[in-house]
Amino acid sequence: MTTKNNTLFSRRDLLTLIGKTAGGGAMYQAMTSLGFAAESNYNGPPKLDGAKKGASVLVLGAGLAGMAAALELRNAGYSVKVLEFSNRAGGRCWTLRGGDTFTELGGAVQQCGFAKGEYFNPGPWRIPYHHHAVLGYCKRLGVALEPFVQVNYNALVHSSKAYGGKPQRYRHVQADYQGYVAELLGKATTQGNLDAALTKEDKEKLLEGLRRWGALDTQFRYLEGTVSSDRRGYEVDAGGGLMPLAKPSKPLDMSELLQSNLWRYIASGQDYEFQSAIFQPVGGMDMIAKAFQKEVGSLIRYGAKVTKIEQNDRGVTVTYTDASKGGAVTQAKADWCLCTIPLSVLSQIDIQVGSAMQEAINAVPYGASVKVGLQFKRRFWEEDEHIYGGISYTDLPISRISYPSTRYGAKGKSVVLGAYVFDGPNSYEFTAMAPEERVRRAVEFGTQLHPQYASEFDNGISVGWHRVPGTHGCYGIWTDETRQKHYKNLCQVDGRIALAGEHASYIPAWQEGALLSSLDAIQRLHARAVA
Amino acid sequence: MTTKNNTLFSRRDLLTLIGKTAGGGAMYQAMTSLGFAAESNYNGPPKLDGAKKGASVLVLGAGLAGMAAALELRNAGYSVKVLEFSNRAGGRCWTLRGGDTFTELGGAVQQCGFAKGEYFNPGPWRIPYHHHAVLGYCKRLGVALEPFVQVNYNALVHSSKAYGGKPQRYRHVQADYQGYVAELLGKATTQGNLDAALTKEDKEKLLEGLRRWGALDTQFRYLEGTVSSDRRGYEVDAGGGLMPLAKPSKPLDMSELLQSNLWRYIASGQDYEFQSAIFQPVGGMDMIAKAFQKEVGSLIRYGAKVTKIEQNDRGVTVTYTDASKGGAVTQAKADWCLCTIPLSVLSQIDIQVGSAMQEAINAVPYGASVKVGLQFKRRFWEEDEHIYGGISYTDLPISRISYPSTRYGAKGKSVVLGAYVFDGPNSYEFTAMAPEERVRRAVEFGTQLHPQYASEFDNGISVGWHRVPGTHGCYGIWTDETRQKHYKNLCQVDGRIALAGEHASYIPAWQEGALLSSLDAIQRLHARAVA
């Protein structure tokens, strides 16, 4: 793999060219415009020049952090070996398909009964447009991407305590909340309440904007009619020929809407993390893992359970049991070690590092989220309700239902994310259940949003992250306090050992954090190795 | 083709089943929830039972309206023949690809020089989730769909009169406008200015909502910091390991933002017509045309220029020149006629209908929009600026740049919609230009948003709809007045002739309007035929 990311180089070339051919004004224009792209800490694959001949690195863990390190270090000339606890590459970059077996801590075994082509991502499931490292590797390794529909205006928002438990349409809540906000602000503005905060000119522009943005009438009112219905949708849509005329829909009552709390769900698609464009790999998140595996799979030893990590001033020795040798205690040696084992597990392993790093390793608890994948006999959300991809939200423990952002309109069985339980008590309760009980509960709760569940449910599978062997949790939970006290100590190279993974990043729970942490760590390890 | 849309039937079944197995409460729940889907006038393919043996229909025009009619009437047992002016099926459902030739009115010829797999839709380019007829036919005819990225938070919004002509990020304008609106309303609310409009409880909920929705701090202020940056993005993003710490970005000045008018562009993704989920066919819009053509292509006679449409109480006679016979004047006869010829052309044809319909035919002017497709040497918008799909907006005549919502991350040449000129004066000016001049101007204007245009432009093609043979315009423009006076007269069956097309619908310029108008018209023709 010799592909190079030329982004920076090409940009510099381009700027020079523009400067030469179009003069300074265009040059400035170009720089400020292109400068938009400079927000990320990712600047393409690391430059690891001058590796010493024969220098070796032992990578612990074959998740994305471990495999990216293996790829870059191998390309830089290092002798690389990867030890992986499980019999699968990818770590939390993981997809379950029909025929897969999953045995969780506690021994419960699930056989995935999904139809051919259907899948469920128990771990990460989305790639924001600004996760440049993940996108960069996808491009470099040929992983095809498709849009993840984060916001679906026709999906549902549901509160068991509002509207008699009847789900509402996202578009109704979104349009009406924004409409009432605009109407109220229009009222305060026209009444002169904000004259201290706004100049006359700004007031005029604000009112002009509120009318369009809030779908208000000429009197700055949010009312039933075509203006609001062009936003929230119609009671009867416009048609063709002599079909019945369009009929505007009636906005929700303002007070009832405010008291419903359903407005909680309408800002998430505006969050930087979830803004459009946001992607998923075609065919499942583990297409990324498989692409890395294609590059470095030959370097990975599976079924290697690390029990001890030792170092001295000449190298690192890792002791592990080798499943392929009946669990025989084995040792691997290298000049350097990059350890990507989750802290939830690493804190239980004997590792020879200073007390600062050891304390950091012990300081980070892991999230307990639970996901449930549900297969239905048909895409009733598309066929009956015209919901194509996207997410419905609820205050029930399942928190949301995410419809497949792929193969729209396909006939036959289809899998949704039927629960993503991540608040404390509910996630612990779900983790404690037997897998089939989690599935049963997800179906039971989901029926409150989609009564079709009752007749269309086919089969399901559940993953409680505290019960996933080799991970023992979903992601490292940092607080401001633990960040301040331990983060740097966790990330510093300790002798010949460096740590990486989402836990060693400021982007916890995201693959981007794992990759950036890995790229940063190997650059510092490399600097030490060539010093 | 015997596929049947069973949606309604299945729903009824489901309701019965739920009623039987879960009792009345669940039944109500199911009905109200499923009832959401009832907004459309499309209820699946029309039921055209009992066609008389040997009855025949002549369809004029092989666009979507004509081909859908041909498909349904043929399936119902009618003898169907379609006359099409051009040598291509699809009408405005049209895609240009490398190797295609387009000769416009006036004689200018363009050869499309796009790379393999690249394309440009001169006409319709999006399918909203509530265009049930289009989606229904896509499903039935096996047309694969993919999401069209309508809103891209990382795309640009540009005013030549604001910020020194420097484009801004959509996410900055969106977050800051919403943030300032929330801050101002928070101020008015906490100051008690809205106590007459809000109860104490509603006031509390409103403030709670504004904080989250507007990304305000605990004092209801929209300020530089992590709260606003979690919405608008960071100056420096969070990283991994010991990378530089995240740095919040600074909101735009409120007054400058209000005066910029850039807030004009942030509501379009909330409009019912453009809300997510919104789709495009994989490979180009004309995949829909091709799918229809596969069904009814054998019924179509191409190169048939209709010159006269006559009827009496026994049938319809259509006179046309037949290009395949050297322009020989030919006649076709049938019991009934569905005419989907655009009114811009039909108003120039001798048609034997009553004066009410004739006046309606003459009453509708056609839009003059112009689209330009531009091929670049590489996807610089993705590679340099991390814009994946979506639309950048500008106050320049090109109005917008739409990036490809497909093959994200692909290497090599790529085509964008480089201009969609649809306001009056600009579209007439662009229509009047030679095709290559339109392309040159689109590149020139676009360079103000993307300086890379200068070095990356490869080739382009342009379509001015007033110059498209057989259409002479983009779509029928109705006013409230012309609707009231002429719409019903246009859509009534006149003797043995009915009209259809987007012009005979309340969804002008959309394929949904063409299909619904056609389905409605053939049902009324059929009712008359079996009476």
Reported as a single tens digit per residue, the pLDDT across A161-181 is: 999 999 999 999 999 999 999
A292-313 pLDDT per residue, tens: 999 999 999 999 999 999 999 9
Taking an 8 Å cut-off on Cβ atoms, the answer to whether A520 and B235 are in contact is no
Collapsed DSSP state (helix, strand, coil) of residue B494 = strand
B67-113 pLDDT per residue, tens: 999 999 999 999 999 999 999 999 999 999 999 999 999 999 999 99
CATH 3.40.50.720 for domain A96-154+276-284+367-467, yes or no, is no
Nearest C-alpha in B relative to A147: B147
CATH 3.40.50.1370 for domain B96-154+276-282+367-467, yes or no, is no
- State the average pLDDT for chain A: 93
Report the pLDDT value the prediction gives residue A427, as an integer from 0 to 100: 95
Taking an 8 Å cut-off on Cβ atoms, the answer to whether B184 and A189 are in contact is yes
Collapsed DSSP state (helix, strand, coil) of residue A245 = coil
Collapsed DSSP state (helix, strand, coil) of residue B194 = coil
Kindly list the residues from chain A whose CB atom is less than 8 angstroms away from the CB atom of residue B14: 384, 451-452, 455
Query: Chain B interface, mutation test: which of A29, A249, A270, A478, most B Cβ atoms within 10 Å?
Result: A270
- Measure CB to CB from residue B455 to each of A14, A198, A271 and give the nearest one: A14
| DSSP-H helix ranges across B63-148 | 64-75, 132-141
Taking an 8 Å cut-off on Cβ atoms, the answer to whether A237 and B40 are in contact is yes
Kindly list the residues from chain B whose CB atom is less than 8 angstroms away from the CB atom of residue A519: 240-241
A200-226 pLDDT per residue, tens: 999 999 999 999 999 999 999 999 999
Fill in the amino acid letter for A95. Answer: T
Taking an 8 Å cut-off on Cβ atoms, the answer to whether A145 and B409 are in contact is yes
Q: Judge if ipTM > 0.85.
A: yes
**CA distances from residue A370 to A35, A234, A418 in whole angstroms, order as listed:** 40, 37, 10
Query: Chain A interface, mutation test: which of B72, B184, B266, most A Cβ atoms within 10 Å?
Result: B184
CB A407 within 8 A of CB A503: no
Taking an 8 Å cut-off on Cβ atoms, the answer to whether B185 and A185 are in contact is yes
Q: Where are the domains of chain A?
A: 7-35, 56-90+286-364+478-530, 96-154+276-284+367-467, 170-260
- Measure CB to CB from residue A166 to each of B32, B273, B506 and give the nearest one: B32
Nearest C-alpha in B relative to A269: B231
Nearest C-alpha in B relative to A8: B384
Report the pLDDT value the prediction gives residue B121, as an integer from 0 to 100: 98
Distance, CA of A359 to CA of B525 (rounded, Å): 81
A26-38 pLDDT per residue, tens: 443 444 444 444 5
Asked whether the predicted pLDDT for residue B163 surpasses 60, the reply is yes
Asked whether the predicted pLDDT for residue A433 surpasses 50, the reply is yes
- Assign domain B56-88+300-364+479-530 to its CATH superfamily: FAD/NAD(P)-binding domain (3.50.50.60)
Distance (Å) from the alpha carbon of A426 to chain B's nearest alpha carbon: 23
Asked whether the predicted pLDDT for residue A283 surpasses 60, the reply is yes
Distance (Å) from the alpha carbon of B171 to chain A's nearest alpha carbon: 8
Report the pLDDT value the prediction gives residue A4, as an integer from 0 to 100: 34
Residues B392-420: what's their mean pLDDT? 97
Give the position of tokens 């489901």: B14
Report the pLDDT value the prediction gives residue B143, as an integer from 0 to 100: 98
Query: Which two three-digit tokens encode residue B521?
Result: 């018209």
Asked whether the predicted pLDDT for residue B321 surpasses 60, the reply is yes
Nearest C-alpha in A relative to B165: A29
Taking an 8 Å cut-off on Cβ atoms, the answer to whether B385 and A255 are in contact is no
Report the pLDDT value the prediction gives residue B424, as an integer from 0 to 100: 83
User: What pLDDT band is residue A25 in, cutting at 50, 70 and 90?
Assistant: very low
- Measure CB to CB from residue A277 to each of B390, B488, B521 and give the nearest one: B390
Report the pLDDT value the prediction gives residue B226, as an integer from 0 to 100: 97
Element (H, E) at A309: strand A304-312
A45-74 pLDDT per residue, tens: 999 999 999 999 999 999 999 999 999 999
- Measure CB to CB from residue A506 to each of B145, B175, B239 and give the nearest one: B239
Report the pLDDT value the prediction gives residue A38, as an integer from 0 to 100: 57
Query: Chain B interface, mutation test: which of A275, A401, A478, A526, most B Cβ atoms within 10 Å?
Result: A275
Report the pLDDT value the prediction gives residue A424, as an integer from 0 to 100: 83
Pairing between strand B234-236 and B119-120? unpaired
Distance (Å) from the alpha carbon of A206 to chain B's nearest alpha carbon: 6
Asked whether the predicted pLDDT for residue B423 surpasses 80, the reply is no
CB A221 within 8 A of CB A183: yes
Which of 1.20.1440.240, 3.50.50.60, 3.40.50.300, 2.30.29.30 would CATH assign to domain B170-260?
Answer: 1.20.1440.240
Query: Chain A interface, mutation test: which of B4, B13, B21, B36, most A Cβ atoms within 10 Å?
Result: B36
Collapsed DSSP state (helix, strand, coil) of residue B308 = strand
Query: Which two three-digit tokens encode residue B447?
Result: 């360079």
Pairing between strand B497-499 and B156-158? unpaired
| CA dihedral for A51, A56, A59, A62, sign (positive or negative) | positive
Q: Which CATH architecture has domain A56-90+286-364+478-530?
A: 3-Layer(bba) Sandwich (3.50)
Distance (Å) from the alpha carbon of A432 to chain B's nearest alpha carbon: 29
Asked whether the predicted pLDDT for residue A475 surpasses 70, the reply is yes
Distance, CA of A495 to CA of A6 (rounded, Å): 33
Nearest to A390 by CA among A402, A400, A398, A380: A402
Query: Which two three-digit tokens encode residue A259?
Result: 């008291």
Kindly list the residues from chain A whose CB atom is less than 8 angstroms away from the CB atom of residue B198: 184
Taking an 8 Å cut-off on Cβ atoms, the answer to whether A29 and B451 are in contact is yes
- Measure CB to CB from residue B500 to each of A138, A174, A241 and give the nearest one: A241
- Measure CB to CB from residue A188 to each of B194, B264, B452 and give the nearest one: B194
- Measure CB to CB from residue A386 to each of B132, B213, B515 and give the nearest one: B132
Asked whether the predicted pLDDT for residue A434 surpasses 80, the reply is yes
Query: Chain A interface, mutation test: which of B158, B384, B520, most A Cβ atoms within 10 Å?
Result: B384
Kindly list the residues from chain A whose CB atom is less than 8 angstroms away from the CB atom of residue B25: none
User: What pLDDT band is residue B33 in, cutting at 50, 70 and 90?
Assistant: very low
Asked whether the predicted pLDDT for residue B336 surpasses 90, the reply is yes
With a CB cutoff of 8 Å and minimum separation 6, the contacts of A494 are: A353, A354, A357
Report the pLDDT value the prediction gives residue A192, as an integer from 0 to 100: 95
Element (H, E) at B300: strand B300-301
Report the pLDDT value the prediction gives residue A143, as an integer from 0 to 100: 98
A106-159 pLDDT per residue, tens: 999 999 999 999 999 999 999 999 999 999 999 999 999 999 999 999 999 999
Asked whether the predicted pLDDT for residue B31 surpasses 70, the reply is no
Distance (Å) from the alpha carbon of A278 to chain B's nearest alpha carbon: 9
Nearest to B83 by CA among B347, B302, B340: B302
- Measure CB to CB from residue A39 to each of B36, B233, B258 and give the nearest one: B233
